[in-house]
Amino acid sequence: MLLPMKKSQRRIPARPAPPGAEAADPDRRWMEKRVLGTGDLLVYGRLAEELRDGAPEDAWKQLRAAAEAYLAGGADRAGHCHRTVDATIEALVARDQRFGYPAPFCHKGCCNCCHEPVYCTDEEARLIHAHCLAAGLAIDRPRLERQLRHLETDERQDHTGATTWNDQPEPDQACGFLDPADGACRIWPVRPLVCRVHLAEGTDAHCRPHNGQADPEARGIDYLELSYILTAVFTIHRDSIRKTMGRLLLDLES
């Protein structure tokens, strides 16, 4: 599933540290002051296990490093983060192959994961919108509006997770940027983080969920290194990440 409906995602409230722990953990204190505030931590992937079962001090250190790198990225921090994630995935896949593990199954045309709601930050939405304008690529506003009718939202227009996505006609279930002719992404250079890190193992036959529920046979490659980056970025953009790409693009189009 694409965030925030990925089964491994958790929302962890920013509870106060035990007495004395906050002073002893400057990285957690930095995250609480600069990133969390009074909000929650949008934990992605394996990081939930790391915070629960691993060494929390090291987890907060890695989170701070990821957040600092993103916040220092300047006007193109979304693009810089995309390039960092791509390079990280390339290095991790190369490492795994040295130990005999196969590369992710993902390739042009395997697009089952492109048939569900897509989540992105407001800055990623602006990148996509600008790319479409520059490339002369039309944004299918009517389709986005139809798709949004199948997502339950709260008073802030945040997606609650409830969806009837697969009750739509088959063509409307696909991302509006998916080329039906060859299964390719038409916004590949500026595709969101969630699309970049969705790595299938062995086959894409089980990548498509049904109304928000992941196929129990789905197998994904979940790198902890990416969990730190996405958790930091999604938490920084907690006010937009739950809007869905469709809502953010419609707002930019209006």
Mean pLDDT of 40-52: 87
Q: What is the pTM of this model?
A: 0.89
Per-residue pLDDT at 13? 42
Mean pLDDT of 106-124: 96
In this structure, what token pair is assigned to residue 16? 């106060």
Per-residue pLDDT at 194? 96
Amino acid at site 70: Y
Query: Mean pLDDT, the chain, as a whole number?
Result: 90
Mean pLDDT of 190-219: 95
- For the stretch 213-247, pLDDT in tens is 999 999 999 999 999 999 999 999 999 999 999 99
Rg (CA), the chain: 18
pLDDT exceeding 70 applies to what percent of the chain? 91
Alpha carbon 9 to its chain's center: 10
Under the banding of pLDDT at 50, 70 and 90, the label for residue 23 is low
In three-state secondary structure terms, 174 is: coil
Per-residue pLDDT at 1? 36
- For the stretch 128-146, pLDDT in tens is 999 999 999 999 999 999 9
Per-residue pLDDT at 15? 45
Under the banding of pLDDT at 50, 70 and 90, the label for residue 9 is very low
Q: How far apart are CA 236 and CA 121, in angstroms?
A: 9
Q: Tokens 């697969």 — which residue?
A: 166
Mean pLDDT of 174-199: 96
Under the banding of pLDDT at 50, 70 and 90, the label for residue 54 is confident
Amino acid at site 33: K
pLDDT at 19 over 70: no
pLDDT at 37 over 70: yes
In this structure, what token pair is assigned to residue 202? 């062995």
Per-residue pLDDT at 56? 84
Whether a cis peptide bond, with omega within 30° of 0, leads into 4 is yes
For the ranges 13-17, 116-120, 208-212, the lowest mean pLDDT is seen at: 13-17
